[in-house]
Amino acid sequence: MIVWLNGSVLPDPAAAGISPLDHGLTTGDGVFETLKIVDGQPFAVTKHLERLVTSATGLGLPAPDVAEVEEAIATVVKADPDITFGRLRITYTGGVSPLSSDRGTAGPTLLVASQAIRPPAPTSAIVTVPWVRNERSAVAGLKTTSYAENVRALAYAKERGGSEAIFANTVGNLCEGTGSNIFCVFEGELVTPTLESGALAGVTRGLVIAWFGAVERDVPLGRLVEADEIFLTSTTRDVQAVHRVDDRDLNAPGEVTAAVAKVFAERSAEDIDP
């Protein structure tokens, strides 16, 4: 594992000096991005950095210095060039602050870390959870470090044999997973929830729409039982077929899912920074 913190690569990642007063730790006041590393190269850097800036400014943090983040990414990747498949995470927080909701004046904390991981399973089982995404929240659509509800929901799904949890929003429409976007096939039509549902504008989600085409539409959660195919998208999943929804089994991957996965694999191999 390679860790870059506020300008320097740490010789011992376990000794990273994050202040106990860092607002990202005490309140979850921060944003992050996760990039896929394939054969030592990070994928879709430009799109991820654009979203990092959007999330930071949406949270009211100063816009991160994109050039500094790019330098940090390059330094981390160069320090561990042998990662065949991995995750690179950028974390950007409100920095040292009072032990309250008030922000301090010390400036943000920037942390970039990489780690080799196992490739995801070819299919996933999803579990709908009893909690909802608030599409009217102050942080709706922002990729913040306030992830406790995702941790709780994912644990709930795993207790029931799933590998991802799926949220509806406050009006009962399908929204997203804890770390993924969701696509459904209804009678041959590929559909994904709108961003107005509260779903994050996933980078992989956007590329699937651009490269293959999909209808963005509000989908009542109850319609999941009618879907002929379902797949998830995320940075490290790419396009991952769903073989079970709660207690319902699905043929996975279906024809549409397989076609989307093929197009995504081909296009992403052609351009490391689409």
DSSP string, 189-240: EEEE--GGGT----HHHHHHHHHT--EE---BGGGGGG-SEEEEEETTTEEE
DSSP secondary structure code for residue 144 in this structure: B
Residue 77: predicted pLDDT: 95
Residue 6: predicted pLDDT: 86
Residue 65: predicted pLDDT: 97
Residue 13: predicted pLDDT: 74
What is the spatial distance between Cα 161 and Cα 140, in angstroms, rounded to a whole number? 28
Q: What is the pTM of this model?
A: 0.95
Are 129 and 245 within 8 A, CB to CB?
no
Residue 111: predicted pLDDT: 96
The position carrying tokens 């009962």 is 172
Residue 257: predicted pLDDT: 98
Residue 8: predicted pLDDT: 82
Helix, strand, coil content of the chain in percent (nearest 5): 30, 30, 40
| Torsion sign (Cα): 60, 66, 72, 74 | positive
Residue 16: predicted pLDDT: 74
* CATH number for the domain running over 123-270: 3.20.10.10
Q: Where in the chain is the domain with CATH 3.20.10.10?
A: 123-270
Residue 4: predicted pLDDT: 87
DSSP secondary structure code for residue 124 in this structure: E
* CATH number for the domain running over 2-116: 3.30.470.10
Nearest Cα neighbor of 106 from 93, 119, 118, 120 is 93
Q: List the pLDDT tens digit at each of the 274 positions of the chain.
A: 888 888 888 877 777 778 999 999 999 999 999 999 999 999 999 999 999 999 999 999 999 999 999 999 999 999 989 999 999 999 999 999 999 999 999 999 999 999 999 999 999 999 999 999 999 999 999 999 999 999 999 999 999 999 999 999 999 999 999 999 999 999 999 999 999 999 999 999 999 999 999 999 999 999 999 999 999 999 999 999 999 999 999 999 999 999 999 999 999 999 999 9
Q: Where in the chain is the domain with CATH 3.30.470.10?
A: 2-116
| Strands 164-169 vs 123-133: parallel, antiparallel or unpaired | parallel
What is the spatial distance between Cα 256 and Cα 192, in angstroms, rounded to a whole number? 13
